Amino acid sequence: MYSRRGFIGAAAVLAGAGVVSGRSQAAGIPEPASAKSAATQAPLSPANGQDYQPVVTLNGWTLPWRMNGEWKEFHLVAEPVMREMAPGMQVHLWGYNGQSPGPTIEAVEGDKVRIFVTNKLDEHTTVHWHGMPVPNGMDGVGGLTQPHIEPGKTFVYEFVLKRSGTFMYHPHSDEMVQMAMGMMGLFIVHPRDPQLYRVDRDFAFIMSSYDIDAGTSLPKVMTMTDFDMWAWNGRVFPGIDPLVVRRGDRVRVRIGNLTMTSHPIHLHGYSFEVTCTDGGWIPASARLPEVTTDVPVGAMRAFDFVADEPGDWAIHCHKAHHTMNAMGHDVKLLLGARERDLRQSVTKVVPNYMSMGSAGMAEMGRMQMQLPDNTLPMMTGFGQYGPLEMGGMFSVVKVREGIAPGDYGNPGPYRHPAGTVAYEVKGASEEAPRRSEAAPAVGPAIEGKAIKPGSRGPTSHH
Ligand SMILES: [Cu+2]
């Protein structure tokens, strides 16, 4: 929830807004709002100014503002925060206004925005408005376009929103550390014409990644590629809320990427069109139908679709390692090995030995393993038919009949109409048929012997 003080502060000032122009009048800093919870907050409908369909920030919230004359005033506070990545895992991050990512800033094309930034970190920072056309001195590159904001200081950014679209904000000051610690947020600018590109439901999230050793709560900020927590808005599955949609709605999903690698985001059940990048809206004639869109590093993509098919539709990054939590990459590969014998011998010297399963890793989704405090299983989450065997960048688009406008509450599992779920065939052979010629007979006698491709069997049988 918004803190009561902050929320009332944002609303109450509307009445008392005087005529203010120019930076000399910018004193009187708005009281900053702060969020305590990582639950998705109801979108913040515009109480004044131009109408628009507000975005829903997955597991996040929207920053209240006040009007001060012609200026829309926001207040960001850069500060250390605790973020729950999923139930059972709390992480020390840096963020804004109580959370990481920071609150979504939302405004309208043509708005004059004044954004106060207070630095409550122990080192200096700045804010860069990623993708936004701003005067050079408002671009937030510490040392290049402005002095860094020292701890305890407040700076003001003022600019006119020239272009609608999907943007981000993040520091340009000790950038590697500050972004690795989770300093980022979304900045959505709606078109001046409320009907232009309008959708019924508009979801937004920003992607970040962390390297957090099991049992610890601080990201290793020097890590460059080998991350183990792949997050949407600082959450990992099963901690990511579903995208709840009424059947027939026109839906938009806006995605930003501030990780160190690209993420091909895949939606099941639909084809969509990429309608917007951080460079602007894509003309209708140039949009391709897609089911996956790759979101490059330092970029944003928004895609639209009409939700005409009810169900629980998976949405996830298609890099399979990014739908895992706390993944150790040095697990030994034992697919096809006679692991039971191996496990028995290894356990004599390494009591808590655990390996990847010999049939695959699915057994990990069912196991209730003893984990260190403050970490998450690699594969987790249960659906109505069993374990989902997912983590990281995974959620569900839940399309249902008759959901009330503005209702984003989880409707529970989809009730499939009779006869529409994949089913087992009874009476079929328990032995899957195999190609007898090419398949070598594997038995105890040939363990450890090489089987050459194309040979008719193991050499030990000759
Ligand atoms: Cu990915």
- pLDDT tens digits for 46-71? 877 778 999 999 999 999 999 999 99
Q: How far is the CA of 430 from the centre of ligand 1 (A)?
A: 37
Ramachandran bin of 153, using left for φ above 0, alpha for ψ from -120 to 50, beta for the remaining angles:
beta
| Distance of CA 263 from the midpoint of ligand 1 (Å) | 4
- Return the pLDDT at 446: 46
Compute the distance from residue 395 Cα to the ligand 1 centre, in Å.
Answer: 13
| Ligand 1: centre distance to CA 231 (Å) | 9
**pLDDT range class, residue 215, cuts 50, 70, 90:** confident
Tell me how far the alpha carbon of residue 350 lies from the centroid of ligand 1, in angstroms: 33
Selected residue with higher pLDDT from 293 and 385: 293
**Ligand 1 centroid to 199 CA: how many Å?**
26
DSSP, collapsed to helix, strand or coil, labels residue 364 as: helix
Rounded to the nearest whole angstrom, what is the distance from the C-alpha of residue 378 to the centroid of ligand 1?
A: 15
Distance 241 CA to ligand 1 centre (A): 18
Instruction: Give me ligand 1 centre to Cα 237, in Å.
Output: 13
Residues 225, 229, 235, 237, CA torsion sign: positive
Helix then strand then coil, in percent of the chain rounded to 5, is 10, 35, 55
What spacing in Å lies between the alpha carbon of 436 and ligand 1's midpoint?
39
- Phi/psi for 57 (5° steps) reads -85, 115
Environment class of 358 (CB within 10 Å of its CB; exposed 0-12, middle 13-18, buried 19+): middle
Confidence of residue 253 (pLDDT cuts 50, 70, 90): very high
More confident residue, 6 or 359: 359
On the question of pLDDT at 449 being above 80, the answer is no
Query: Which stretch, 302-306, 337-341, 381-385, 450-454, has highest mean pLDDT?
Result: 302-306
Kindly give the distance from the C-alpha atom of residue 298 to the centroid of ligand 1, in angstroms, as a whole number. 13
Model confidence pLDDT, tens digit, residues 336-372: 656 566 566 666 666 555 555 556 666 655 555 566 6
Region of residue 353 (left: phi > 0; alpha: psi -120 to 50; beta: else): beta
- The mean of the pLDDT values for the chain is 84
Which of the pair, 6 or 364, is modelled with greater confidence? 364
The C-alpha atoms of residue 459 and residue 462 are separated, in whole angstroms, by 6
Q: Which of 236-250, 290-304, 401-415, 432-446 has the lowest mean pLDDT?
A: 432-446
The alpha carbon of 318 and the centre of ligand 1 are apart by a number of angstroms equal to 6
The three-state secondary structure class of 278 is coil
- pLDDT-derived band at 8 (thresholds 50, 70, 90) equals very low
pLDDT at 295 (0 to 100) = 97
Q: How many angstroms does the Cα of residue 207 sit away from the middle of ligand 1?
A: 9
Whether the Cβ atoms of residue 287 and residue 281 lie closer than 8 Å to each other:
no
Q: What is the 24 CA–ligand 1 centroid distance (Å)?
A: 46
Both structure tokens of 411: 């409707």
**How far does the centroid of ligand 1 lie from the alpha carbon of residue 265, in Å?**
7
Give residues whose Cβ lies within 5 Å of ion ligand 1: 263, 317, 319, 322
